[in-house]
Structure 1
Amino acid sequence: NYTTKAKNAQEAHEAIRPTDFMRTPASVRQYLDADQARLYEIVWKRAIASQMQPAEIERTTVEIEAVNGARSAELRAVGSVVRFDGFIAAYTEQKEEDSEDEEDRRLPEIRAGEQLDREAINATQHTTEPPPRYSEASLIKKLEELGIGRPSTYTAILKTLEDRDYVTLDKRKLLPQAKGRLLSAFLESFFERYVEYDFTA
C-alpha cells in the first residue's frame, strides 16, 4: 500500500510498475533486448520490494577481549546484523559509494561469550570524518524530510544550483562553491527569517 512520505508533499504521477507481478524478468526476457530486460528487472524488483515488509537491521557493538599469553587487548567492532530480510530479499538498492561508515558494516551472527578464531591482524589508522557531502539523491531525500518542494520541482532545484555555479558535482557529491557559500552567508545574515526551513516549507 502506498502512503505519502512527506506531510506537505504534493505527490507526483503514478509510479512505473508491472501490470502483472507474475510476469517475472525471467519470463519476459525472451521478448526484450538486453537493455529492455535490465530496465524491466529494475522496475519489477523495485515494485515487488515496495510492497514488502521493512528490513529489520540491528545496530550492534561487539566488544572482544583478545588474549595472547599474559597480554590482552580490548577490541571493538561496530556494525549491523540483519534480523529480518524484508524487502532486501527481493531488491537491494545499490549504494552510491562503498560506505566507510562503521555502522553500515555487516557483522556475522555472534553470541555473547563465543570463542572467536583469529584470521588476520591488520593495523589501520582511523580519524573522525565530517558528515558526508550531499549527493543529488540524499539532498532530495532531505528536501522531502523538511517538506520543501515536491517531486516535480526537485530536478529544477538541482539544475538551478548547478547552472548558477552554487555547487559542482564531483564524484556524485555536491560540492559548495565560493558563489554558493557567499550567497548562503548573505541570506542567513540579512534574510534569516525567509530562509528558515519552516518558512520555506
Structure 2
Amino acid sequence: MRPLPASLPLLASLALLGGCSYLPTWDSLPSVTGDKVLGVLTPYRVEVVQGNVLTKEMVARVKPGMPKAQVRDLLGSPLLADVFHEARWDYVFTIRRQGAPAQRRLVVASFDGDKLKTLEVPDDLPTENEFVASVNTFKPGKKEPKLALSQAERDALPPPKPSAEAAPTAAAEGPAPGRVYPPLDALPARAGS
C-alpha cells in the first residue's frame, strides 16, 4: 500500500469547510410572515374561541339590582369569578379565526352583596347580527349552498310512488301477529316498588 500524500487530509478539510458556506443561515431560511409561508401558502390555523359571546341584546336585558342567579341565567357563567373578589365577575371573550380579524372583549359585572351594582360594557360590543357578520368567513363570489326548496320547486317535484312493500296501517289490521301484550295494570307489582 502506498501512503497517503500529506496534503490529502488538508484538501479534505478545506473542502468540508468550503461546503459550510453553502449551509443556510437563520436569515436565509423561508419565513412565515403574516398569514403566508414563503409569501404563497396559507397554513391552517386552529380556530380558538374562549369565553362568553355577549351581544348588545343580551346585555340590555340585565339591569342593576338583579340577583347573581338571574345575571348568570341571562349572561351565562363568567369566565373569571375570583374567590378573593366575589363582588366581581369578568366575562371575557376572545376569538381567533382564519380569515377574520381577532376579537377580544371584556364585560365586568360588579355586585353589592347578591345584587348587581354595575355592568361595565365596552363601546365596541356588537349586536347579534354584527357579531355573526364579523366571524363569517364566507367570501362573496362563492356560490352559497341552497338549504331549502322554494314552493314552486316543491310543487314541481313528482309525487312519491307507493311502495309495494308498504305495510298496511295498524288500524286496518289490528296488532301484528305474535305481538300481543297484556294491559299494564295486569302486570304483577315488583318488590320494593
**Both proteins in one fold, TM over 0.5:** no
Structure richer in helix, relative to its length = 1
Higher relative contact order at CA 8 Å, sep ≥6: structure 1 or structure 2? 1
* TM bracket, shorter-chain basis: under 0.3
TM-score (norm 2): 0.24
Structure with greater Cα Rg: 2
